[in-house]
Amino acid sequence: MPLDRTAHILSTALWRFSLRALHLTTTAEIAQHAGVSVGTLFRTFPTKEDLLANVYAYAMAQLQAPLAAGPGSPQRGENLTKLLQRWWDLTAQVALAQPHLVAFWRWYRPSVHPTSLLGPFEPVAGLLERALVRHMSSRAKPLPVPMMVAALVGQWSAALELVLTEPTCQTDAALRQLVLERTYAGWWQSLGLPDYLEVERVPY
């Protein structure tokens, strides 16, 4: 199948899956909206699970693309709080511009494996681990990295759900930004980490 048709099926499936619970969205419905037969759909993606996995990869590539080489890239010795704040802001901007990506992720995570699907924050665990190497020898005992990232993802998704669904937030950009900033600040403060933590340059 031509790549453009495959991409069209993925884009259509992402749209349909973002509208409601995944088990309520049928492959026949996706095929109809994509303008292909069910047989063509299954020749490309043999099972619904295979389709879902490919849609997830497709959606996360769009969420993570602005972070790969843009302002979210770490600089050697950079303050970790500033890096993660930029990351938070960038992913929020993408999510606000393309809310169906976040909607799909919210449906997908609990249906598959909620602790391992970090969405746009997949690379954050590595950044935190590297930044904490020197800090581990101090008396302060930070939370395990997986718990820290899980808390970040939980706070971020809750904040995004609020700003994407609350009518006042939808019409007030300043309020949206305030919600996001306060949520991030609350997450960082809850970790009990010093502000001077630095990161080394690492590839995404």
- pLDDT tens digits, 92-142: 888 888 888 888 888 887 776 555 678 788 778 888 887 887 676 655 667
| 183 is a domain residue | yes
| 204 is a domain residue | no
**Please, which pLDDT band fits residue 182 given cuts at 50, 70 and 90?**
very high
| 124 is a domain residue | yes
| 4 is a domain residue | no
| Contact present, 17 and 29 (Cβ < 8 Å) | no
| 151 is a domain residue | yes
User: What's this model's pTM, rounded to 2 decimal places?
Assistant: 0.78
Cα 141 to Cα 55, 181, 191, distances in angstroms: 38, 25, 10
- pLDDT tens digits, 75-91: 767 788 888 888 888 88
| 176 is a domain residue | yes
* Closest C-alpha to 191, from 120, 123, 133, 132: 132
| 31 is a domain residue | no
| 77 is a domain residue | yes
| Contact present, 99 and 164 (Cβ < 8 Å) | yes
Domain that holds residue 105: 71-199
Mean pLDDT of the chain: 83
